[in-house]
Structure 1
Amino acid sequence: MATIASTWASPPTRPELIETLVSGVDRYNPNNVGILEDYLYHQIRSEEYDCLANLAILKLYQFNPDLYNPDVVINILIKALTSAPFPDFNLCISLLDERPPSANTDEPDPLPSLLPILTSLYNLLQQCRFPAFWALYKSDQVESLRDNYTVECVGFEDAVREVAIRAVKAAFTSIGSERLGTYLDLAGPELDAYIAKLGWTKDSSTGVISIPANPDNQIESTVVHENIHLPQLVKVITHAAQTA
């Protein structure tokens, strides 16, 4: 857990310049918002992720409403979406309360219409309702998000699959391939290739996939021993007799 927290606070892929901006008082300097936005788009193109740097952008938008860029906000939320079950998405949402109703542009703000969709997708991931997530994500309702945003986010669908795999590893020792396929939105050779990439084994006769043992999917009994010394017991009995 400490390792996860450390990686979240300071990803190994974070450039030194961004580390300086995020770790010091310069994170509140509006002149640096362009650098942080460029770094966000680097994350979009490279499959890297840096929540703390992205939160710094949202905080700058709070302090400087004239800097607000809805496309940047949407991309931040898309990256945070696949951090489930971690609460990055909610952290980002908490910084949108004071955002301006519209950007200083002639075009309408796309965020109000897309935010409920993004929130619904996030909730489905949090609830491990993966088939429902894919159904909503591929629906006409989400066409604008797909065509204008997630299509540009390299590895987005695979990042969603990684969320599902984390949940499966924590809850199963074995799972049917058809069921796993609905979680990953994969079937046939694509699913087989994905399973092989994970290093999992599939029984060709039953279609059952074995999940390697890990601390989360192994049930171990715990025996608790309580040692009460005689002097302590005498004190308890004496106290009970006096208060009776």
Structure 2
Amino acid sequence: MAYEWTSPVTRPEQIEALVSGVDRYNPSNVGILEDYLYHQLRSGEYDCLANLAILKLYQFNADLYNPDIIINILIKSLASSPLPDFNLCTSLLEDRPPGASLDEPDPLPSLLPVIRGLHNLLYRCRFPAFWAIYRSEQLANLRDNYTVEISGFEDSIREVAVRAVKAAFTKISRERLATYVDLQGAELDAFIDKQRWTIDASGSNVEIPPNPDNQIEATVVQESIKLPQLTKIISLAAVKS
């Protein structure tokens, strides 16, 4: 999994060479990285290290600052929870020098606390609260101007919920799962089928197949002490007494 994070298979050779070498600090390459980000938005792919390279260039070169790029990077990183991608991204926004003058008001100061809040809910596995806030009228600007442009965004958030469900449950009520993934009726049934989960005979519970995370197994610890070691312990105890 670590290798997939550092070198995703979908990363083009040009980006691999750029991200892996000193050229990632060359401000003339920022356009290449930004184009690659837009490719990620359209394709549903994700490359955290390439996106971090953009933020690092913005940090070193205030004149390159583009708030829309930053917002898109942060939104993409939400789906990586509980991995630290989001925190890595926001850490590069701190102590940032003033950027270039913008033709329009900067949307980042108002949206950053909102996105932080969404990340916090995902990290704490408060999925019903996440969907309620995400669907609210207050976040219409985020949906209409940003997440709508990100292919598969909502499905990627559902995958965060799936990872949590697989790790914590062997059985979960259908109603509860619906609040976690924000789906109902036939859409929920199709989602359950896609995960290869099954619904029990009552039709009200979803059964999660066994995996290393949701199985409780007793651990037996055996210690092997050889006779010479035991002799030393007894001798030491005798001396102290």
CA distance in 1, matches of 2:152, 2:220: 45
Whether 1:80 aligns to 2:81 is no
Preserved CA contact (<8 Å) 1:177 1:208: yes
Deviation at 1:101, TM superposition (A): 4.4
Give the deviation of 1:205 after TM superposition. Answer: 2.3
Corresponding position of 1:29: 26
Aligned residue number for residue 211 of structure 1: 208
- Mapped to 2, the partners of 1:101 and 1:192 lie a distance apart of 50
> Paired residue for 1:115, among 100, 112, 117?
112
Is the Cα–Cα contact under 8 Å of residues 68 and 99 in structure 1 kept in the other structure?
no
* Structure 2, gaps ≥5 residues long: none
Contact 1:77–1:92 (CA under 8 A) maintained in structure 2:
yes
* Within-5 A mapping of 1:124-135: 124-135=121-132
Q: Name which of structure 1's ranges 216-225 and 52-61 shifts more when overlaid on structure 2.
A: 216-225
Structure 1 position 230 matched with structure 2 position 223 = no
Structure 1 residue aligned with 2:146:
149
Distance change in 2, residues 1:204/1:147 (3 Å): farther
The alpha-carbon deviation at position 237 of structure 1 amounts to 1.6
Of residues 55-64 and 220-229 in structure 1, the stretch that sits farther from structure 2 once superposed is 220-229
What displacement does 1:212 show? 0.8
Q: Give the fraction of aligned pairs with identical amino acids, expressed as a percent.
A: 71
Of the structure 1 ranges 93-102 and 81-90, higher mean CA displacement relative to structure 2 is found in 93-102
1:166 Cα shift? Answer: 0.3
Shift of 1:242: 1.5
User: 1:176 matched to which residue of 2?
Assistant: 173
CA RMSD of aligned residues (A): 1.1
Normalising by structure 1, what TM-score? Answer: 0.96
Cα drift, residue 103 of structure 1: 4.0
Cα distance in structure 1, aligned partners of 2:201 and 2:77: 37
Please list the CA deviations of residues 58-113 of structure 1 after superposition, one character each: whole Å capped at 9, or x if unmatched.
00001101001000000000000110010100000010013244542121110010
Q: Which runs of 4+ in 1 moved over 4 A?
A: none
For 1:178, give the aligned amino acid. E
Alpha-carbon distance, 1:240 to partner: 1.8
2:178 aligned partner, one-letter code: G
**Structure 1: runs of 5+ lacking an equivalent:** none
- What is the match of residue 42 of structure 1? 39
SS at match of 1:196: helix
Normalized against structure 2, the TM-score is what? 0.97
Give the match for residue 139 of structure 1. 136
Read off the aligned partner of 2:62 and give its amino acid letter: P
Q: Supply the distance in 1 between the matched residues of 2:152 and 2:240 (Cα, whole angstroms).
A: 69
The question of whether the paired residues in 1 share the 8 Å contact of 2:64 and 2:99 is answered with no
Matches of 2:105 and 2:238, distance apart in 1:
78
Aligned residue identity for 1:134: W
What is the number of residues matched between the two proteins? 241
Q: Tell me the alpha carbon deviations over residues 196-221 of structure 1, each in whole angstroms, 9 at most, x when there is no partner.
A: 11111112524111101111111111
